[in-house]
Amino acid sequence: MADAQTESNHKAGVLEGGGDESIVPQTQGLWVRYQGCWLRPLAVQSVKIVQEQFEARPDDILLVTYPKCGTTWLKALVFTITNRFRHAITGDDHPLLTHHPQDLVPFLEMPYRQLHPLSDLEKLPSPRLLSTHLPVTLLPPCVVTLGCRVVYLCRSPKDVLVSLWHFIYKVNKNYSIDKALELFSKGESSYGPIWEHNLGFWKESISNSDRVLFLKYDEMMAQLVKHVKMLAEFLRVPFTEEEVRCGVVEEIVHLCSFDKLKSMPVNSSGVSDRIGGEPMENSSFFRTAKVGDWANYLTEEMAKKLDGIVEEKLSGSDLTF
Ligand code: PAP
* Cα 184 to middle of ligand 1, angstroms: 18
Q: Tell me, what's the pLDDT at 273?
A: 81
Which domains, ranges and CATH numbers included, belong to the chain?
Answer: 14-313 (3.40.50.300)
Torsion angle of alpha carbons 42, 46, 51, 55, nearest 10°? Answer: -170
Probe target for ligand 1 pocket from 131, 169, 261, 286, with the most ligand atoms within 8 Å of CB: 286
**What residues act catalytically?**
133
Q: What share of the chain is helix, strand, coil (3-state, %, to 5)?
A: 45, 10, 40
Instruction: Report the b/e string of 267-276 with b at 16+ CB within 10 A.
Output: beeeeeebbb
CA-CA distances (angstroms) from residue 148 to 9, 67, 104, 127, 142?
Answer: 37, 21, 19, 10, 8
What is the helix (H) or strand (E) element at residue 277, kind and residue range? Answer: none
Burial pattern 48-76, b for ≥16 Cβ within 10 A else e, equals bbbbeebebbeebbbbbbbbbbbbbbbbb
Q: Is the pTM of this model over 0.75?
A: yes
The per-residue pLDDT string of the chain (321 residues; one tens digit each, 9 = 90 and over) reads 333 333 333 332 222 333 343 455 444 568 999 999 999 988 999 999 999 999 999 999 999 999 999 999 999 999 999 999 999 999 999 999 999 999 999 999 988 888 878 988 999 999 999 999 999 999 999 999 999 999 999 999 999 999 999 998 988 888 999 999 999 999 999 999 999 999 999 999 999 999 999 999 999 999 999 999 999 999 999 999 999 999 999 999 999 999 999 999 999 999 988 777 678 899 999 999 999 999 999 999 999 999 999 999 999 999 999
pLDDT of residue 7: 36
Residue 152 CB-half CA count within 13 A:
24
By the 8 A CB rule, do 30 and 40 touch?
yes
Q: Can you tell me which atom of ligand 1 is nearest the CA of 155? A: 7
Cα separations in angstroms, 185 against 192, 214, 313: 10, 23, 11
Work out which ligand 1 atom sits closest to the CA atom of 166.
Answer: 16
Using the atom order of ligand 1, give the atom closest to the CA of residue 102: 4
* Nearest CA residue ID for atom 21, ligand 1: 289
Q: Whose CA is nearest to atom 28 of ligand 1?
A: 258
- Closest by CA to 71, choosing from 46, 108, 38, is 108
Evaluate the CA torsion angle 70, 76, 79, 81 in order and state its sign.
negative
Cis ω before 127 (30° cut-off from 0)? yes
Centre of ligand 1 to C-alpha 289, Å, is 6
The alpha carbon of 19 and the centre of ligand 1 are apart by a number of angstroms equal to 36
Instruction: Please give all residues whose beta carbon lies within 6 A of any atom in ligand 1, as ranges.
Output: 65, 67-73, 159, 163, 166, 256-258, 261, 285-289, 293
Contacts of 245 (CB under 8 A, 6+ apart): none
Q: Could you tell me which residues come within 8 angstroms of residue 78 by beta carbon, excluding any fewer than 6 positions away?
A: 61, 63, 105, 129, 151, 231, 235
CB-CB neighbours of 211 under 10 Å: 15
Beta strands (DSSP E) in the chain are: 23-25, 32-34, 37-39, 61-65, 129-132, 149-154, 212-216, 271-272, 280-281
Task: For 153, list phi and psi in degrees, rounded to 5.
Answer: -120, 125
CA 285 to ligand 1 center in whole angstroms? 5
For residue 61, give the nearest of 150, 155, 141, 166 by alpha carbon: 150
Q: What number of CA atoms fall less than 13 Å from residue 114's CA on the CB side?
A: 10
